[in-house]
Structure 1
Amino acid sequence: MTQKKTEIRIPLFSAQDRDNLRWLWSKYLKKKAPWLLVVMLMVLVQGLVYQQFLSLTESGLRVIFDAGAINDLIQVCAVVFFLFAVRGLMAYLVPRITIRISNQAVFEMRRDLVSHMMSLDLAYFERTKSGEIMQRLVGQTQSLGAFVGQSTANAVRDAVTVVIVSGYLIYKNPILFTTAVVVLPFIIWVMNYVAWRVKKGQIEAEKAIGNYMNGIEETVNGMRTVKISNQEPMEESRLLEGTRSIRDLQMRVQTTQALVMPTIDLSSAFVYVLVIGGGGYMVLNPNFDVDGAAIITFLLGMVMVFDPARLLAQYFGALNGQMVLLDRIRSLYQETPTIADAPAAVTDFDTSGDIVLSGVTFAYSPEQPLFDGLDMTFKGGQVSAIVGATGSGKTTILSLLSRLYDVKGGHITIGGTPIDKLKVNKLRSSFSVVAQDIVIFNNSIWENIRYVNPDATEAEVWQAAENAEIADFIRQRGDAPVGPKGAQLSGGQKQRIAIARAFLRDAPILLLDEATSALDQATEARIKSALDRLTKGKTTIIVAHRLSSVSDSDSIFVLESGKLVEQGKHDRLLKENGLYAQLYKAQKKGYDER
């Protein structure tokens, strides 16, 4: 016995859809209400032109059929031409205004999305695909803007035309019009079915497009690995599978939408047959005060009703798909930052004081706790180093200090002030950071250095470049862009840009996260004096894998699996012959064997 698969129906216009529409209106369209009112008046004029055209057409036909004066016919034709000239002017002005309104709404929406996105925590970007973010900011906002603008204006025009012309036809012949609309329930049923199928398909298509965009980004960013490992066929196959999925989903949506036009065409044909048959009977029957001119005008009016009705049906068929886009865009606002300024946050604190971690508890996920009651003290004005195996929590400590994440328990203080009581921007402006994941923009090296301090003078930028041993390379390249994500630079050149940024920012607390990991020993030796100048008089925390680079530190903290297992100076830790000594000897042996 087979079980019948049941589909869960998605509401055509759910409470969420209505709430999203209210949000769109109040946030981006309500302030443009005066211009929307102007558009509505222009649309009303377009509808009235059709009604007057029908009236004049009937009068013109009677002039012809009743052998009226030629002057009367010329007058009717002149008025008709004038009316359509007015409609043509309205047809030009309406899209001009609506395009301006929609483009401004798209601009404001993207501006607000970018602003809100910048306020979100780092955790959001680490769990969200970048392709999904780009899809919202670029494709979905543009599609929604075009739909809300010109498509909606056209739909309103079509709806007004249907109402006005239908009202006129009812006035002229209510019996014939009632006969003509018998197919309306069937059309409504078809549109209801189409709208549901389109909404369902659009949800799946948007997910597929997001995954596809993310796949493209991953392939482009990892092209070096793809080429080296000779995996072009695999990547081609992976992207082709995504393309195929999008094609199939779009075909489903568009095939469903294709039902609309033939349905309305067949319904129109049925209506025209009823009008011709019923109208012809009325003309032939002396009990009805109907002539040939009235029937021809009525048929022309039905054409004017069904043509915009077809376009209106298409609009409602696509509307549910746009509701999906609107919900996706608005869902970004449901992401709220957890790291924010406390109600009584302060800006003044002792940046030269000790940095203390007291009973710190932290986990990226509840299933994998990292720190449980961690205590550490980094002395103000001194150089401290954090070492340990990969995954021991070294870089996480720097993230907690700068509040990229908040501790789950315990607290962190700088100069005695808890960092969660400080303004976030003030806290972060007190750090200069040289990270292992260096962000390089497709601009000149000069502009990449100046990124951290746009107001820096030319002399200050050059001095920072000289200190980081990259000034000569800048002179060689000039203003040439460095490629997407610095593709034309070596790892060492990228790290020297990061070091130059730290010199230029000149903040009182310096965080070095594997600052020299991509430098060979000769280059590291050349900039060691520069790093010494950079750290002089500053509270410096170094995260390092190469232990020889931290041997001169005032204090070294050794982490293992999120626990502080050793602490002290280099010589003392070697004498204790613990984990640090083992790591140091293993590295030294590795260097000696090279």
Structure 2
Amino acid sequence: MKLWPFSKRGDRRPLFSDQDRDNLRWFWRGYLKAKTPWLFLVLGMVMVQGLVYQQFISLTETGLRVIFENGDIGGLVRVCFMVMGIFTMRALMSFLVPRVSVWLASDAVLRMRQDLINHMMILDLAYFERTSSGDIILRLVNQAHDLSDFVGQTTVSAVRDVATVVIVSGYLIYKSPFLFLAAVAVMPFVPLMVRFVSNKIKHIQQSAENAMGAYMTGIEEMSNGMRTVKISNQEPVERDRLFKATAEIKDLSIRLQSAQALMMPTVDILSALVFVLIIGGGGYMALSGTSGMDGASIVAFMIGMALIFDPARRVAHFFVKLQASLVILDGVRSLFREVPNITNAPDAVGAFDVHGDIVFDKVDFAYAGKPPLFQDLDLTFEANKVTAIVGATGSGKTTILSLMARLYDADGGEVRIGGTPVNKLQIPVLRQSFSVVAQDIVIFNSSIWENIRYVKPEATEEEIWAAATHVGIDDLIRERGDVPLGPKGAQLSGGQKQRVAIARAFLRSAPILLLDEATSALDQRTEDKVKRALHDLSEGKTTVIVAHRLSAVTHADRIYVLDEGAVVEEGTHAELMEMGGLYAGMYGAQRQSYG
């Protein structure tokens, strides 16, 4: 384990990089600038807190003279009441400042979170396919919360401490410039130490954030795959994997704390040197009688320096924590740097013939960093008819649906619906024309009823019951009532999940129906019932079926057979069987396997 946080090589980069400054300007302009009057109010209350310490020093000096020189009991009582009064004022400010500052910070981070969510909603599907959910959760939850704490508490406390240092220092300079300058002669070592530590902290903090994101992703993968973990008896493997991640987080936390811990002892040693200078130098000045300072002045001066050093220590520590927070701020803003490629064209139209043919005209497509999947792909899905796409895994079946709904853009050629290219349509208008039953069914932790209504929140009870009855899940709704289904619908079987997805398609009832392995998890009896329901659903709609089980597409008006991204056969079920080619071989093999 590496306890010493620094490498032998050190770079002398500035405290704030250009990216740091840009991130701070972005956060200020976007989320704090509008609250400037409130920030001035907080600053005013903070200044009052600093003035209280200055007045306390002055009153302490007065009180000491009353005790040792005048012997005036009435004057002493007045001093005591004044001290009580000013600290009551400080107590009031100490109550108001955190409340106002936390409100300001929470409001800023709330709006930032909302902007993050809005921006995330417009990002392409490709972003979510290459980014782990742990990283997204880290930015939206942990890092946003850490920023709220830093802005609302740490930064305001640092401003208060700076105000205290400046105001008290100004008063001490007024009392004795020579003694103050002599006392703080060692203070330039503090910013040098801050600069020395800051770059290392940034590097360690970035590693810690990455490790935490990987840990959260690992937890999600373990939780989602627990059924497989249990069945395959792989609990020790999962335990070791998560233990390794937690050990890495522990190591990075120790290194980070080791770097931060250097600041406090440094300031403590400097504080001791300062007090030695005040006691020695101040005492000599008082004894010599040439400086105009007496014993009360020297004691008050020492109290003033003591009041400076605690805030100074916290300010030095603030700059250390600032480096970690700059990494967090950059992590949050990195989500905004993700730019969607799937956007509305400047001349995008808001209406098209939803009942027209869907045509793939010499379409080229490749996933990022992978060989081309489609080259000069030609397909026609006739309006108001059922067209099926079959083929081996990886042949591009689901990708065709993704291009149709413009989850991806074609690299070449054109995808048209009713004669209009899909990239010339407004995205919401295009996607509202589809009802989808996908193989990756999203089930929320709410009731079956709410899960069906998800695709059409304004639906009536009658419409929801009709959709549920079509797929035979109405009895289960009555049985379960409002009981949540568990995370990702854990309390439903695969077939029940698919029936919920099909019921959604009934409820939405868009003019184009996309079925991606819609009956793959159903037994034969349930499949027959659902197929009848899907037949009713597809009436008057352009229906596209992607299926591995060929028994689900025998009724299609046209079947395309894909192999490695190319159409190798097409026709009706009877025509393809007569050809005796790939489709006929697949169908025969499946019938034999089903018995």
The alignment status of 1:340 with 2:374, answered yes or no, reads: no
Partner SS, residue 364 of structure 1: coil
- Counterparts of 1:220-369 in structure 2, within 5 Å, are 220-369=223-372
Helix, strand or coil: the match of 2:428? helix
Aligned partner letter, 1:136? R
Cα deviation for residue 528 of structure 1 reads 2.0
Answer whether contact 1:194 1:256 (CA < 8 A) is retained. yes
TM-superposed CA distance for 1:7, in Å, is: 5.2
Write out per-residue CA displacement over residues 260-307 of structure 1, whole angstroms, 9 at most, x where no aligned residue.
111111111111011001111111113322210010000000001101
- Deviations 1:182-209 (Å, cap 9, x if unpaired)? 2112222222222222212101100110
Query: How many Å apart are 1:12 and its aligned residue?
Result: 2.6
Q: Does 1:527 align with 2:530?
A: yes
SS in 1 for 2:518: coil
Q: Tell me by how many angstroms 1:69 deviates.
A: 1.8
1:455 and 1:519 map into 2 onto residues whose CA distance is: 29
**SS at structure 2 position matched to 1:58:** helix
Which of 217, 230, 243 is the equivalent residue of 1:214? 217
Q: Which segments of 5 or more consecutive residues in structure 1 lack a partner in the other structure?
A: none
Do structure 1's residue 21 and structure 2's residue 24 form an aligned pair? yes
Q: Are the counterparts in 1 of residues 190 and 316 from structure 2 also a CA contact under 8 Å?
A: no
Task: Give the counterpart letter for 1:546 in structure 2.
Answer: R
> 2:239 & 2:21 partners in 1: Cα distance?
42
What is the one-letter code of the residue matched to 1:291? D
After superposition, the CA RMSD in angstroms is: 1.1
Unaligned runs of 5+ in 2: 1-6
Take 1:31 and 1:268, find their aligned partners in 2: how far apart are those partners? 40
Aligned match for 2:157, one of 142, 149, 154: 154
Aligned residue in 2 for 1:538: 541
Structure 1 residues 155-164 or 53-62, which shifts more? Answer: 53-62
Letter in 2 for 1:142: H
Residue 94 (structure 2) pairs with residue 91 (structure 1): yes
Letter in 2 for 1:127: R
Question: Cα distance, 1:577 vs. partner?
Answer: 1.0
**Residues 358-400 of structure 1: CA distance to partner in whole angstroms, max 9, x if unpaired?**
0100000344110001000010000000001111000000000
In 1, distance between residues paired with 2:195 and 2:548? 63
SS at match of 1:365: coil
CA distance in 1, matches of 2:579, 2:11: 67
The code of the aligned residue for 2:279 comes to I
Identity of aligned residues (%): 60
Equivalent position of 1:165 in the other structure: 168
Counterpart in the other structure of 1:400: 403
Instruction: State how far apart, in whole Å, the 2-side matches of 1:449 and 1:85 are.
Output: 59
Which residue number in structure 1 is paired with residue 466 of structure 2? Answer: 463
Measured in 1, the distance between the counterparts of 2:228 and 2:12 equals: 45
For residue 177 of structure 1, what is the aligned residue in structure 2?
180
Partner SS, residue 445 of structure 2 = coil
Query: Which residue type is aligned with residue 460 of structure 2?
Result: T
Q: Measure how far apart 1:110 and its partner are.
A: 0.7
Judged with a 3 Å threshold, the aligned counterparts in structure 2 of structure 1 residues 297 and 316 are, in CA distance, closer, same or farther, namely same
Pick one of 117, 122, 126 that aligns with 2:125: 122
Q: Secondary structure at the match of 2:436?
A: strand
Q: Distance in 1 between matches of 2:135 and 2:255?
A: 22
Q: Which residue of 2 aligns with 1:194?
A: 197
Match of residue 511 from structure 1:
514
- Paired residue type of 2:147: L
Matched residues in 1 for 2:370 and 2:393: separation?
A: 19
Letter in 2 for 1:121: D
Q: State how many pairs are aligned.
A: 589
Is the CA contact 1:441–1:483 (under 8 Å) kept in the aligned structure 2? yes
- Secondary structure of 2:106's counterpart equals helix
Amino acid at match of 1:36: L
> Which 4+ runs in 1 deviate beyond 6 A?
none
Partners of 1:488 and 1:338 in 2: CA distance: 37
The one-letter amino acid of 2:406's match is: R
- Using a 3 Å threshold, how does the CA distance of structure 1 residues 545 and 103 change in structure 2: closer, same or farther? same
Match of 2:3 in 1: none
- Change in 2 beyond 3 A, CA 1:5/1:306: closer
Deviation per residue, 1:179-238 (Å, 9 max, x gap): 101211222222222222221210110011011101101110110010000010110110
Report if the CA contact (8 A) 1:10-1:200 is conserved.
no
Aligned to 1:54: 57
TM-score normalised per structure 2: 0.98
Offset at residue 6 of structure 1 (A): 3.6
Distance 1:296 1:99 in 2: 37
For the 8 Å contact 1:212–1:239, the answer to whether it is kept is yes
> Could you tell me whether the CA contact under 8 Å between 2:387 and 2:556 is conserved in 1?
yes
Q: Indicate the SS of the match to 1:406.
A: coil
Shift of 1:9: 5.8
